[in-house]
Amino acid sequence: MAAAEGTFGASWVADTLQESFRKVEANPKIPVRSQTEAQKFLTFYLSCYHSMAPGSRSVRSLKHYMHMFNYSWPKLKINEKNSFDLLIRMELDFNIGAFFRFGISLKRQNAWDFTLKPPKISKFMFSPTRKENYRKYLEKVVKAMGGGLKHSSIVDSIAKFEEELFELAVMEKKQRVHLKNLSLLTPTIGPEVWMETFSKYFVLSKFLENHTMLITSPEYFRKLFNSLSKKDGALYLGWRIFRFGSCLTHEFRALEESLEMNVDACSHPVSDARGFCKEYASKLMLPQMVAFATESLTSKEEVRSVVDIADTVKTEILKGLNINPALDNSTKLTAMQKVRKARLVLPEIGFRAENSSTAAFPDLGADFLENWVRVVPRAGFPAKEYEIEEAMKKLYDSQVKYDVYGNELHLPVASTKGPLYSADLPGSTIYAGLGRVIAHELLHGLDAQGREVNNGESQPWWSEQFSELYNAKAACYGNQYENAGNYTNSTLQEDIIDSAAVRYAYAAFKAALPSDRVANVLGGLSSFNPEQTFFITYCHSFCEGTADHPEAHGGWTKYSEAHNRCNMPLMNMEEFAHAFSCSLQDPMNPAKKCSLW
């Protein structure tokens, strides 16, 4: 099928999505109940935008964020095992990059090699200017979060501990240990707790005693882990978790910017909350973003109408196959079964997932940090930029496609938009365009390619009798097209499908033709009746400049030239001859007609 031009295309998709975002931002009521996948994406995006844009007040949100981890900060309840679990969770589940970098590789079969490194530390972290500004920032943050009269001592404790820790982090001594010996790092936290905790948050591999871990700067980790039972270590843990969350709020980012904290600053750009939140939400919630985009581009009503068209076409194909004298019983039974079972793959509108794999995100609310805590662990690995681009390409793909092994007819968003479909178009136009394309693709499940596949497996199903008959009837088409000139046998398979597709599309159009025939003509073509309009529209879909045909550039195509795709199938239809009162032996009404499917 040729690309759908006109209203649908990449630029139209981009403009429509941009307008959808503008509408959401102008009327920022965040849905919080009975959310579809699209609404979850919008909720996450909107809450992010509200948190990052000027005017947000974030202290309450950050306190709630800390409480979601069952961690009160800067006031503390120290529990070493819980703190260890939380520290590992923040890196493996949330990947905040504050405590360590974790790696894994396969040395040999079933032998994993793990690596543990400190976070990246800039040498500028130790500069006097940075220390002074950083302390000012810490004081304001601790005071805002409820440090009270003791906020100075809290700041002293965090700043001193962090400086000592970072000095150890840049000492790149390495030590390899078996997991069963990890208590060398943490005498009070045994290896079984290490393995249990890492296995809980890193699901790609099972941690076993014979696995090894290469630790860079082991003294850094000794101090980090062994301090979790002490006040300074617990304060530092809470501070780094808070620090990451504060980067997702405007209030604390603005404070940071005012103190010129250009080292250890938040990595996300401050100036473009919209751009950041769209990109971030798309990476974490790509399937939900696609659902939002789909709902922006089409509607339930349009999808339902296209389904009705496809069902009508399928019904007419089944009727035709059932009375086709060329098909023996065995071939007919399989052919009809394939058409009947062909699954429509449609744009999903208002989709609310029920199974565990796609219903991973709970309904979200207005608080972004709360949403972030709910979404990130369930998102898995964030989508890469190329994955987002591929998903967007599929949205503006205009190709209706048939998957021969899946027996699936893929109807993209474009199939619900002009020029293929519009509620304002008469049935004659819709069935001549979209209906014909649907019939064409479904029939590929039966032709020379589809004959080799059944039930998703390589399984030839044409009988020997039908194979011989197919070749004889195909020769009729070959001779017909050859007489038209400039013909090669390489297009024969598509030529046969073209003839059957327009015939079934016409039958579907007649089955769906409303009683109000006058209203079923195309504006500007009122002098033509609905049947004539169908055939005119059918041929119009093949309009192209001669220079546009691949063979004009020395290329190859599996399709015949446009004028043959228009004229030859119609020459084989009694319905066309009747619609335009063609006499027998007229060029468009030859005595000998070809038929197969």
- Let me know: does 66 contact 237? Beta carbons within 8 Å: no
Among 127-136, 421-430, 549-558, name the one with the lowest average pLDDT. Answer: 549-558
User: Does position 263 have pLDDT exceeding 60, yes or no?
Assistant: no
Q: Phi-psi region for residue 175, left (φ > 0), alpha (ψ -120 to 50) or beta?
A: beta
User: Does position 21 have pLDDT exceeding 90, yes or no?
Assistant: no
CA distance 17 to 282: 13
The confidence band for 329, taking pLDDT boundaries of 50, 70 and 90, is very high
The confidence band for 275, taking pLDDT boundaries of 50, 70 and 90, is confident
* pLDDT > 90 fraction of the chain, expressed in percent and rounded: 39
User: Does 394 or 305 have the greater pLDDT score?
Assistant: 305
User: Mean of the pLDDT values across residues 582-587?
Assistant: 90
The confidence band for 4, taking pLDDT boundaries of 50, 70 and 90, is very low
Among 65-79, 143-157, 446-460, 547-561, name the one with the lowest average pLDDT. Answer: 547-561
pLDDT, residue 270, reads 61
- Let me know: does 417 contact 298? Beta carbons within 8 Å: yes
The confidence band for 501, taking pLDDT boundaries of 50, 70 and 90, is very high
pLDDT in tens, 332-342: 999 999 999 99
User: Does position 256 have pLDDT exceeding 50, yes or no?
Assistant: yes
| SS3 per residue for 190-228 | CHHHHHHHHHHHCCCCCCCCCCEEEEECHHHHHHHHHCC
User: Does position 435 have pLDDT exceeding 60, yes or no?
Assistant: yes
pLDDT, residue 20, reads 86
Q: Phi-psi region for residue 249, left (φ > 0), alpha (ψ -120 to 50) or beta?
A: beta
H/E stretch holding 453 reads strand 453-454
Q: Hey, what amino acid is at 188? A: T
pLDDT, residue 234, reads 93
pLDDT, residue 53, reads 84
Q: What is the mean pLDDT of the chain?
A: 84
pLDDT, residue 107, reads 63
pLDDT in tens, 172-223: 789 988 878 888 888 888 888 888 888 888 765 566 667 788 899 999 999 9
Angle between helices 273-284 and 286-297 (to 10 degrees): 110
User: Does position 441 have pLDDT exceeding 90, yes or no?
Assistant: yes
pLDDT, residue 418, reads 83
pLDDT, residue 451, reads 92
pLDDT, residue 509, reads 94
Among 68-82, 284-298, 466-480, 508-522, name the one with the lowest average pLDDT. Answer: 508-522
pLDDT in tens, 143-180: 888 876 677 889 999 989 988 998 898 887 899 888 78
| Residue with the two structure tokens 């998709």 | 13
User: Does position 538 have pLDDT exceeding 90, yes or no?
Assistant: yes
CA distance 234 to 68: 16
User: Mean of the pLDDT values across residues 319-344?
Assistant: 94
User: Which sequence spans correspond to the domains of the chain?
Assistant: 297-347+390-579
| 119 upstream amide cis, omega within 30 of 0 | no
- Let me know: does 396 contact 414? Beta carbons within 8 Å: yes
What are phi and psi for residue 59, nearest 5 degrees? -60, -50
Among 6-10, 132-136, 299-303, name the one with the lowest average pLDDT. Answer: 6-10
pLDDT in tens, 47-77: 998 898 887 788 889 999 999 998 888 888 8
User: Does position 546 have pLDDT exceeding 80, yes or no?
Assistant: no
pLDDT, residue 356, reads 42
The CATH number of 297-347+390-579 is 3.40.390.10
What are phi and psi for residue 230, nearest 5 degrees? -115, 165
User: Does 102 or 489 have the greater pLDDT score?
Assistant: 102
Residue 547: DSSP 8-state: G
User: Does 268 or 97 have the greater pLDDT score?
Assistant: 97
CA distance 80 to 237: 11
* pLDDT > 70 fraction of the chain, expressed in percent and rounded: 86
